[in-house]
Homo-oligomer: A and B are copies of this chain.
């Protein structure tokens, strides 16, 4: 440990799996690579970690540089470090997963080389990014059932049906409407608004917003949000 300078070092990168929800299907944001290796292939947004920034900072910076996204939910996922995952040289990548609300991207991205893909129909990906994506999906499914992170994928005001569609899209199975609503409301973390959501020729739906303050209080008491 005294001779750290004698050895060659791996390069360090961050990669972000950015999830979005369009109301129907779960989506992932990918970037088309402009440079070799894997030129013109789709890849996760990401890049090299600078020596004077934290890993979280690097992930946020790269996300903003490549997609324009700011202030998103971001969480470290896993670190990928097989020896040959980058054909050029040894590269270790700390993967993150991000959840963004609808609209955040169209507003921010230069439409240039970033594009949403439904998770059910992904193109082939550069490096080991398909593995990273699979890991992120598994984590998202697991997390969704015991932590209220689904709200990060919805607009600030949403209906219970939107919330249910999201859960169904992520978990990949239909849920019972009445049971879902009972459960979702039972924690008293959804605040009904005075407004209604109107679209189409049918009864308008009650809008809710999530109460993050109340959630933080509950969390400290060792609380689990399970659906």
Question: Which residues of A pack against B, CB within 8 Å?
Answer: 1-2, 4, 7-12, 35, 47-56, 76, 78-79, 81-83, 89-90, 92, 94
CA of A223 to CA of B92, assembled, Å? 32
CA of A54 to CA of B79, assembled, Å? 11
Known: A1-B35, A10-B51, A56-B81. 15 other contacts (CB 8 A): A1-B47, A4-B11, A4-B48, A7-B48, A7-B51, A8-B51, A9-B9, A9-B12, A10-B49, A12-B92, A51-B90, A54-B82, A79-B94, A81-B94, A92-B94
Q: Can you give 21 A-B contacts (C-beta < 8 A)?
A: A1-B35, A1-B47, A4-B11, A4-B89, A7-B48, A7-B50, A7-B51, A8-B51, A9-B10, A9-B11, A10-B12, A10-B49, A12-B12, A49-B92, A51-B90, A54-B82, A54-B83, A55-B79, A55-B81, A76-B79, A79-B79
Distance in angstroms from A145 CB to nearest chain B CB is: 10
4 closest residue pairs by CB, A with B: A55-B81, A9-B9, A8-B51, A79-B79
Distance in angstroms from A35 CB to nearest chain B CB is: 6
In the bound complex, residues from chain B placing their C-beta under 8 Å from that of A2 are: 35
Given known contacts A1-B35, A2-B35, A35-B1, A49 and B81 CB-to-CB distance under 8 angstroms: yes
Secondary structure class of chain A's binding surface, majority of residues = loop
Distance in angstroms from A65 CB to nearest chain B CB is: 11
Q: What residue of chain B has the Cβ atom nearest to residue A95's Cβ?
A: B79
Distance in angstroms from A185 CB to nearest chain B CB is: 25
CA of A41 to CA of B13, assembled, Å? 31
Q: What residue of chain B has the Cβ atom nearest to residue A50's Cβ?
A: B7
Q: A92's contact among B47, B55, B56, B90, by CB below 8 Å, is which?
A: B55
In the bound complex, residues from chain B placing their C-beta under 8 Å from that of A35 are: 1-2
Q: A81's contact among B11, B48, B54, by CB below 8 Å, is which?
A: B54
CA of A12 to CA of B90, assembled, Å? 12
**Which residue, of A47, A51, A81, A89, has the highest number of chain B Cβ atoms within 10 A?**
A81
